[in-house]
Amino acid sequence: MKSGFIGIIGRPNVGKSTLLNAILGEKIAITTDKPQTTRNIIRGIYTRLKGDEDDCQLVFIDTPGIHKPRNKLGSYMTDTAINTLREVDVILFIVDEALGDGPGDSYILEILKQVKTPKVLVINKIDKLPPERFRVIYEEYDNMGVFEKIFGISALQGKNVPALLEQIKSMVDDGPMFFPEDMVTDHPERFIVSEIIREKVLLYLEDEVPHGVAVEIESYIEEEKITRIGAVIYCDKKSHKGIIIGKEGKKLKGIGKSARLEIEGLLGTKVFLELWVKIKENWRDNGFAISGFGYNKD
């Protein structure tokens, strides 16, 4: 069988997590329309075992969007994404605009030119790109001679994702299985639960509160018919606590209900979810706090 590791890189909000979820056929990475949604490396495991020559296990590594850091958390996220390039067998570079229109793409491209790992350019969101615009982007990157292949896809609609998957299979070597057949991610359920809660915070608050939010699971008790979860939503400014809670607690209740329903689908059991909001000022520039929330380089 074929096996290998595939790094997914690109600017914030180009659809990296959406592509990973589309490949796996289920949601393991949170997605919003806001930049820098992904903070940790998310490993998604695609396994096909039918007893023929197409058998494979591909481990996809979804990385934080590469951007100019404004704080220690941003530096951690960018360093994490760049370091991934040294650990994989194939690199997928995702873009959704022409080189001059996407701030940061030129910076990533210069890094890729120094890496010998085989590279595939993925032009995402073709459902929104006029054909002529797609052609311009395609030719611009094709003329650089950096990429083995270029694919146009719509990760949201799943368009051309199977063809991209076949291309990736052809670029990895024969190898062992790294994970059990039924495993789709190496992250524990507690991590995914915390990410679901953070996703709902981002969706419910829209632009009211920036990305100074972290979620910590304080209790996780599995009983026969219900899982009881207690989680703290941390914000980095006093003024944001009231915004997250909302008038008469309605905003927090909405976040909790939306998260609970999705967590029940994930766990396949009833869930009692209790949320609290606490302040940890300027935690994104506090190395100890960043590590405590699970954002470390291990």
CATH of the domain at 239: 3.30.300.20
CATH of residue 34's domain is 3.40.50.300
Place of tokens 């491209």: 109
Residue 266 has a pLDDT of 77
| Residue among 199, 193, 201 nearest 272 (CA) | 193
Residue 128 has a pLDDT of 93
Residue 295 has a pLDDT of 53
Q: How many domains does the chain have?
A: 2
Chain length of the chain: 298
* Predicted confidence (pLDDT) per residue in 119-169, tens digit: 999 999 999 999 999 999 999 999 999 999 999 999 999 999 999 999 999
Give alpha helix (H) positions in the chain. Answer: 16-24, 72-84, 105-113, 131-142, 161-171, 189-205, 238-245, 250-267, 287-292
Distance (Å, rounded) from C-alpha 83 to C-alpha 88? Answer: 10
Residues of the chain under the 70 pLDDT cut: 29-41, 64-84, 101-103, 206-211, 282-298
Residues 57 and 160 in one domain: yes
Residues 167 and 196 in one domain: no
What's phi and psi for 113, nearest 5 deg?
-65, -20
Residues 197 and 159 in one domain: no
Residues near 15 by Cβ (< 8 Å), separated by ≥ 6?
94, 96, 124, 125, 155, 156
Distance (Å, rounded) from C-alpha 298 to C-alpha 287? Answer: 14
Domain residue limits at 272 = 189-292
The whole-chain average pLDDT of the chain stands at: 82
| Both tokens assigned to 200 | 């709902």
Residues 25 and 152 in one domain: yes
Residue 99 has a pLDDT of 82
Residues 139 and 198 in one domain: no
Residues near 127 by Cβ (< 8 Å), separated by ≥ 6?
154, 156, 157, 159
* 236 contacts 283 by C-beta, under 8 angstroms: yes
